[in-house]
């Protein structure tokens, strides 16, 4: 059994490693933030873009928080 942190690290490695963050926006209702659209190479100049929400919890009960360290 894995912890939530281990599971999320696995998901990030599987789906987000190697992607490029394209932009961030807020939701239409102005209540949520953190939609990050990432660009992932599919090979030979082809790309796919998809959203990643930063949620408070697995059920999406509100926006989360990013701690950005530089």
Confidence (pLDDT) at 65: 83
Confidence (pLDDT) at 62: 83
Phi, psi of 6 (to 5 degrees): -65, -45
**12, 4 contact by CB (below 8 A):** no
Residuewise pLDDT in 10s, the chain (70 residues) = 578 889 989 998 998 888 888 888 788 888 777 767 778 878 787 888 888 888 888 888 888 888 778 8
State the chain's maximal CA–CA distance in angstroms. 38
pTM: 0.68
Tokens of 50: 């998809």
């Amino acid at each position: 059994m894995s912890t939530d942190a281990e599971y999320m690290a696995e998901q990030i490695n599987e789906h987000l490693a190697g992607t490029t963050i394209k932009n961030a926006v807020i939701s239409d209702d102005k209540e949520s933030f953190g939609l990050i659209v990432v660009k992932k190479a599919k090979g030979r100049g082809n790309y796919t873009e998809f959203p990643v929400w930063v949620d408070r919890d697995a059920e999406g009960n509100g926006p989360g928080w990013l701690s950005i360290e530089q």
